[in-house]
Amino acid sequence: MAVLDWSIIVLFLLGLLGIVWWVLQHKKDDTSDYFLSGRSETWLAVGAAIFAANIGSEHLVGLAGAGAESGMAMAHWEMQGWMILVLGWVFVPFYAHSKVFTMPEFLKKRYNKNASSTLSVITLISYVLTKVSVTAFTGGIFLESVMGINFWVGAIGLVLLTGIFTVLGGMKGIMKVSVIQTPILIVGAITILILGLLKIGGGGIIDGWHEVVKYAGNNMHLIHSKGDPWYDKFPGIGVFFGAAIIGFWYWCTDQHIVQRALAAKDLNNARKGTILAGFLKILPVFMFLIPGMIAAALKAKGVAGFDFDSNDKAYGSMVTNLLPAGVKGIVVVGFIAALMTSLAAHFNSSATLFTIDFYKNYKPEASEHKLVWVGRMATISVVVLGLVWIPIMRGLGSVLYEYLQNVQSLIAPAIAAVFLLGVFNRKITPKAGEWGLLLGFFIGMFRLTLMIFKSSFSPDSLFGMLLNINWLHFCLFLFFFTMAMMVVISMFTPKADEQQLQGLTYFSQSPEQIAETRNSWSAWDVATSIVVVAVCVAFYAYFW
């Protein structure tokens, strides 16, 4: 890092202060403004914020590291622009019509209070123990490999800086930074991709790609081929549908993503924002995964500067060795902003869940000022808990990213089943939603517990055989098992009355709601959505 690079980073920090000052000057002391930016954002801000909330240090470190280790295997989780379209076209209208702030609040309306509380607890636990801590952990690795900052200084500094920014700036501040950093992040990452291909290809991009394929491979393991070491872990149909279930949970029901869409000023801007995010979501494979493959190929060829001792440092080596002074500072600023917006999204969503789903239920008479204050205190609490958990995350070492994906495959199926059946089947009863979510989660956590104590079980024992089931196949099983449980429970429990279901399911929308949804899209929205799907199909066809 040259003096010029550090100067650019200092200017960025001053810019953050400016954004906070602007937000404080224009803020309204109410929950809609603090948690949902006053429901006033345009499609550009919504699309950028959804993309920015997704791109965190698990991409800069984890996805690039996965590319260096297993090639295209993890691309299934990134090639999901089509799933974001499902959020905008199918689910946002129901969320918007129900006037909810949070996903647990939607389950409370569709099912009952117990279902809402269960989802809140599951989400808060997952944020603190995985998303917040993992982002800080991998952020520390990235800052250490690129800027030479001590791991602990980088990780703790990132969490504290983001926590202060989130407490003061709220959702408005997050949305403003997202719009600014997204183009910097994209341009910087694509620049690294091109420079990497030119370096390994001796000045030719196509030649560079052939070299990458030679060392890292380029298939997505959908079809078993002789000598493929990754097929058993990412097996064909299992990896496609398993990734889709996890993707549906993440893109269509997870608070920190949906909250960005709900910040839109109307359905039209929300849908256009998700279409933009669908286009942007196509990019991470090229921004992070393939550069990780390039770094592995450069290391295999013995190129100076690429002797990293851990795949988690693959992307940092690309930034350090390929970018000139000045450009490096700008790109690092974009990456730091990406880390902050992703982390801030988790902080703000956690505060929203605690304030709206717990405190407001306990203190329904609380003023808007009080609720915003509680939200700020909740953010500070999540910051502290995330910091406390980092040492445990660091103790997991290189297993961290693998365990993170496994945990998501155990949390996602039950939540996905409850939302999917809840919206498309009005016969699913409140008790079915409550117990489906609870039992599905406990089954997932039971397998997670077995994974932790895996060494204690013989491969021939019952628990050993359960653990031998591929994690993606288990994800599929848990998803369909939860749905089957919900259907059976619905046969023996009271149905929700029509008034409760009004506007919350596909078949109980009012004529006015149907008309509002229909009037919110145009032929241009349809055409651009088809392009997103076509690009995803073309990608799978090429890397089959």
Range of the domain at 333: 3-542
pLDDT at 109 over 60: yes
Tokens for 422? 């809840």
Q: Of 444, 437, 438, which Cα lies nearest the Cα of 408?
A: 444
pLDDT at 178 over 70: no
pLDDT digits (tens, 9 = 90+) for 44-54: 888 888 887 78
The total domain count for the chain is 1
Distance CA 98, CA 92 (A): 10
pLDDT digits (tens, 9 = 90+) for 57-102: 677 777 888 888 878 877 888 888 899 999 999 999 888 888 887 8
φ and ψ at 41, to 5 degrees? -85, 150
208 touches 201 (CB < 8 A): yes
DSSP state, 465? H
pLDDT at 489 over 50: yes
Q: Of 223, 236, 110, which Cα lies nearest the Cα of 502?
A: 110
When pLDDT is cut at 50, 70 and 90, the band that residue 399 belongs to is very low
Sequence-distant (6+) residues with CB within 8 A of 362 are none
Tokens for 419? 């939302």
The average pLDDT across 199-215 equals 87
The pLDDT of residue 383 is 75
Sequence-distant (6+) residues with CB within 8 A of 55 are 185, 284, 338, 341, 342
User: Out of 69-73, 344-348, 515-519, which region has the weakest mean confidence (pLDDT)?
Assistant: 344-348
214 touches 297 (CB < 8 A): yes
The average pLDDT across 523-541 equals 93
User: Out of 80-89, 141-150, 160-169, which region has the weakest mean confidence (pLDDT)?
Assistant: 160-169
Q: For residue 222, what is the domain's CATH number?
A: 1.20.1730.10
Distance CA 290, CA 499 (A): 51
The pLDDT of residue 24 is 66
pLDDT digits (tens, 9 = 90+) for 462-488: 888 888 888 889 999 999 999 999 999
The pLDDT of residue 26 is 64
pLDDT at 434 over 60: yes
Mean pLDDT value across the chain: 83
pLDDT digits (tens, 9 = 90+) for 7-46: 888 888 888 778 777 766 766 555 555 555 556 678 888 8
The pLDDT of residue 10 is 86
493 vs 98, more confident: 493
> What beta strand segments (E) does 471-541 contain?
none
324 touches 71 (CB < 8 A): no
- H helix or E strand, kind and range, residue 431: helix 430-452
User: Out of 185-199, 341-355, 420-434, which region has the weakest mean confidence (pLDDT)?
Assistant: 341-355
- H helix or E strand, kind and range, residue 52: helix 43-54
76 vs 402, more confident: 76
The radius of gyration of the chain's CA atoms, rounded to the nearest angstrom, is 23
The pLDDT of residue 253 is 93
Distance CA 285, CA 72 (A): 9
The pLDDT of residue 274 is 94
pLDDT digits (tens, 9 = 90+) for 229-285: 667 777 877 888 988 999 999 999 988 788 888 888 889 999 999 999 999 998 888
Distance CA 507, CA 230 (A): 43
Most confident of 192-196, 260-264, 340-344: 192-196
φ and ψ at 493, to 5 degrees? -130, 155
Distance CA 460, CA 396 (A): 27
The pLDDT of residue 415 is 95
Most confident of 326-335, 339-348, 466-475: 466-475
